[in-house]
Amino acid sequence: MAYARGKQDQASRIVAVSPDDGAVIDLRNPALAALLSWAVPGLGQIYQGRLFKGRLFMGAILGTFLAGMWLGGGKVVYASWKPGDTRWPFVCQAGAGLVALPAVVQSWQLNGVARQPLFGSPFMAPPLVAGQYVSRAYADRLAASDPDIDAEDFFDRPPLKQFRGEQVSHWHRRLGRWFDIGTLYTMLAGMLNVLVIYDAWAGPLGAPTDDDRKAKQERKT
Amino acid sequence: MFTLFCASSTFVPPLLLAALVDRVPGIFFGLPLMALASLIFAATHHEDPAEIRFAAVHWAVWLGGILGLVLAAVLLLGWFA
């Protein structure tokens, strides 16, 4: 808890107090720090000069997010709001910050005028659903690179192509439990980053109780 | 954990690593998440690195204990059912 939250000292600094030693923590610009911590986990703490915690958060959150991506074959982070394939886990994954942002861009691109993800790359692109129109270039690229998709999976609808299948079903069949495990890792990374954002905004959580102080004193002696 | 993954990916062929990971029961993949949650909880409650380490272990024991009890209850129910 930032005991001094809202208080400003003589130098007009917004500060928090460390629950461990009572040291004053300069939160600098808390809103900016929170934004930085959302964008890159731990960056807000680094901006505030709390280097140990910043590096710790960055390694732990980003490491878990990337491990989840790896376990889920790179398919578990995507944004989709189509009926029947609403990707609610992305709400949690988005908490991890900029590392999840390509999913939003890819979703806009695939459902926009271009009808294909950015640079035609399927990275973080939402899965195609039955009846979805895509650009011919993207359809050809998927047919060539995706082991579950071939040219017959598309109707020819010049100037586009129409998918006839459920790509997410292919992913579930191929990845099995890894899809769920990867999703869980990336979701938890995003959710825990909310605590990190709060830490950047308001300082450490929780006031030390008398018991805490007593226990700490005992550990020291 | 990420460091471990990177290190192992560097020295072990990725296919062999995937085969090894595939043999690990799914429940063990919850352990790193428990460690992560403990670490983040601890680090957002303290500033001093030594206190963070101590609190992380404290949280891990609590989380592990509670989740272990839930698992034991589920296993018992499944056994009697």
pLDDT band, residue A221 (cuts 50/70/90):
confident
B33 with A50: Cβ contact below 8 A:
no
Question: Any alpha helices (H) in A58-209, and if so which ranges?
Answer: 63-71, 89-93, 101-111, 136-145, 167-175, 177-202
Closest CA to B41 of A134, A188, A163: A188
| Chain A nearest-CA residue for B27 | A181
Query: pLDDT category, B13, cuts 50, 70, 90?
Result: low
Q: How many Å lie between the alpha carbon of A146 and the closest alpha carbon of chain B?
A: 18
Average pLDDT (B26-41) is 92
Going by C-alpha positions, the residue among B30, B38, B31 that lies closest to residue B54 is B38
Out of A212-216, B25-29, B57-61, least confident range? A212-216
CB–CB of A64 and B21 under 8 A? no
ipTM for the predicted complex comes to 0.83
* Cα–Cα distance, A201 to A27 (Å, whole number): 7
- SS in 3 state form for chain B? CHHHHHHHHHHCCHHHHHHHHHCCCHHHHHHHHHHHHHHHHHHCCCCCHHHHHHHHHHHHHHHHHHHHHHHHHHHHHHHHC
Return mean pLDDT, chain A.
90
Please state, in angstroms and rounded to a whole number, the distance separating the CA atoms of residues A128 and A116: 11
Residue tagged 């998918």 (tokens): A163
Tens digit of each residue's pLDDT (9 = 90 or more) over A82-132: 877 899 999 999 999 999 999 999 999 999 988 999 988 999 999 999 999
User: Which helix (H) or strand (E) element contains residue A157?
Assistant: strand A154-157
Which of A19-33, A207-221, B5-19 ranks highest by mean pLDDT? Answer: A19-33
Give the gap in angstroms from C-alpha A67 to the nearest C-alpha of chain B: 6
Q: What is the pLDDT of residues A57-93, one digit of tens each?
A: 999 999 999 999 999 999 999 999 887 789 999 999 9
